[in-house]
Amino acid sequence: MVGTRYRYGGTDPLQGFDCSGLVHYAYGQAGYEVPRTSRELFRAVRKIAVGEADPGDLMFFQDQTKLSHVGIYLGDGLFVHAPANGQNVAVASLDSPYYQAHLVAVGRLLAH
């Protein structure tokens, strides 16, 4: 889905994705029903340490005081996400100072 446009509330590759819509779609394509919003996803995951993250785990980010963003971990410090209006689905690095400063939790939806 890398390159798909961002669209607030979006849940499919034709119209675009927001961050939680991308997670919902990706897990759905793999045959799993998961919550739709970032907050619901955050409540549904089992929190784990960053060093325990496996591909498919979720990365949660916060701006100021509220949970604001979620991405899917790919491994090797990289995650895929739908960043913001005017941008496309992209791969980003957890080494980025911005994402390091805003990462609030890593979570696992499925037991593995």
Instruction: List residues with catalytic annotation.
Output: 19, 69, 81
Tokens of 44: 């549904």
Cα–Cα distance measured from residue 81 to residue 90, given in angstroms and rounded to the nearest whole number: 6
Cα–Cα distance measured from residue 56 to residue 16, given in angstroms and rounded to the nearest whole number: 20
